[in-house]
Amino acid sequence: MELDVHDRITADPTPEDIVRAIDQRGDDPDWFINLSDDDGYVEAELERAGRFRLAYHSGKARFDAAETVDAAALKTIFLAYLNGNDGWRANRNWLRKASPAKAAEAAGEPPVWAIAAVVASLALIFVIAEVLPESWLEQLPFAGTTFGGILLIGLPMVVMVGAMIINAVLKVRRAKGWVQVQGRITLSKMAARRPPAGNEIGTLVNVPDVAYSFKVGGQDYRGTRVSLGDISGKYAEEAVARYPVGKMVTVFYDPADPETCVLEREAPKGAVKGCGLLLVVLALLAGGFYWAVTQGAEGLKASMPDADVPVMLFAALFGLAALLFVVAHRRYLARANAWPVTQGEIVSSVVEQRRSTENGRTRTTYLPVVEFAYTVAGNRLHSRQVKLGLEVSGSESFAQKIVDRYQAGTKVDVHYDPQDPSNAALENPTETKWILLGVALACFAIALYASRIFR
């Protein structure tokens, strides 16, 4: 046996060594403890004060505990492992560690081919704009026209939406050939998916933490995927309610690899609705721009021969979009100010740095990363929105003041959307984004200038 405590190794450890290491762990977030032998290991990492993430390796695969443990339970498990007793494994839900590719798919990350397609579309813009000879460009449809430029700029967005749809269709078609078997829900609760370690600045997403067990060929398997797509927010809460602990369920699994399994083979309704809405918006924008630069432009040119029609149309449409956004935002704020309030607690509160480079100069801003937890309808949810819809950043002293105001352990009032409780904030802003109103007015002024009606 070998005991590794935060890179301090002890050969042939005693029970006293294990107890002392756990009792004297301190508050270092990188602290870990590992007890290994020739057949595998058991290890734990400090998650927060008094709680630990637990895992073990059987010699063939790694398994992570579905829930954290406290110091007392951690001592019991490590002492049992030291004595060769593996009974502690049966008392907890264990999730077999997936391969990086499977883990990325389960988390809703796009496949490599989809990312490559979007990158290729961006490269195509550069090739058309900078590399292709003029004689070749003249052969392309809409070459040299305003509509052609708009199509080229919108190409990556179209490719991205198309890749999302194709990926969802491929998943559904592949899963149609899977085998089904009866299983049982062993874990069902909400969980928070945080940004990767070392990149705490990012979106925190509430997801369903659902686990189920089933047998194939007399062998036990465990799964954690509910749907073929990513489920978050209100759809996650619906999934937790749909699959309570102990419920018998139908599990669909790949006969070539039973660890690839899911409870729902159809595409998640949230993804279908989102893709459909995005397609409608893109189609309306494309149709509107096409009409504007063809029939609309010709009509305006006939009635306003001195006007710079492409500039006038683009500025007017952009200004209209900004104005509509301002109106929609004001309506959203009006509804948000009537949201219900529940009590929550600050889980963590730190200042993070963000560096950006502009014109060869590095600029550093500081963001207060304040995470809080709250409970709605029996679900424990997490969020990092200090001000609703706004990213709070500035100088280090500014960020530190917010962190000091929301220290870990502080009880706070949480405003949440009753239609989607995962959308919550500590403060509801009441001010309108007047800068967008200024952008809209500036665009209308440019459109008016390009019309030349006052010349």
CATH hierarchy code of domain 338-429? 2.40.50
> Which residue type, as a one-letter code, is found at position 296?
G
As beta bridge partners, residue 356 has: 363
Residue 184 has what pLDDT?
Answer: 94
Q: What are phi and psi of 387, to 5 degrees?
A: -110, 135
Residue 335 near residue 308 (C-beta atoms within 8 A): no
Sheet holding 257-262, edge to edge: 219-223, 205-216, 179-193, 248-254, 257-262
Burial of 172 (0-12, 13-18, 19+ CB in 10 A): middle
- Going by the DSSP 8-state scheme, the letter that residue 349 receives in this structure is E
Nearest to 373 by CA among 401, 348, 403: 348
Cβ(354)–Cβ(388) under 8 Å? no
Using DSSP, state whether 218 is helix, strand or coil.
Answer: coil
CATH for 177-264 is 2.40.50
Number of alpha carbons in the 13 Å side-chain half-sphere of residue 258: 16
Question: What is the number of alpha carbons within 13 Å of residue 14 lying toward its C-beta?
Answer: 3
Domain boundaries, the chain: 2-97, 177-264, 338-429
Tell me the HSE value of 389 on the side-chain side, using a 13 A CA sphere.
14
* Tokens standing for residue 21: 């290491």
Tokens of 10: 């002890």
Q: Which residues pair with 188 in a beta bridge?
A: 210
Q: Taking Cα atoms as reference points, which of 378, 377, 371 lies closest to residue 345?
A: 371
Question: How big, in percent rounded to 5, are the helix, strand and coil portions of the chain?
Answer: 40, 30, 30
What percentage of the chain carries pLDDT values higher than 90? 30
Domain pair 177-264 / 338-429, same fold? yes
pLDDT of 182 above 90: yes
pTM, two decimal places: 0.64
Q: Which one of 19-23, 200-204, 321-325 scores highest in mean pLDDT?
A: 19-23
Q: What is the pLDDT of residue 144?
A: 59
* pLDDT at residue 232, rounded to an integer: 84
DSSP label at 427? B
| Distance (Å, whole) CA 403 – CA 319 | 37
What is the distance between the alpha carbons of residues 171 and 254, in angstroms, rounded to a whole number? 12
Q: pLDDT by residue (tens digit) across 49-92?
A: 678 989 999 887 788 887 888 999 999 999 999 999 888 887 67
Q: Is 352 left (phi over 0), alpha (psi -120 to 50) or beta?
A: beta
Measure the CA dihedral 130/136/137/138, to 10°.
Answer: 150
pLDDT digits (tens, 9 = 90+) for 347-387: 989 888 877 776 677 778 888 889 999 999 999 999 998 88
Which of 73, 72, 53, 75 is closest to 64 using CA atoms?
53
For residue 158, give the nearest of 216, 196, 189, 114 by alpha carbon.
114
According to DSSP, the residues that pair with 69 across neighbouring strands are: 52
Q: Quick one: average pLDDT of 97-103? A: 61
Average pLDDT over residues 118-144: 73
The string of pLDDT tens digits covering residues 13-45 is 999 999 999 999 887 778 999 999 988 999 999
Pairwise CA distance, residues 292 & 151, whole Å: 13
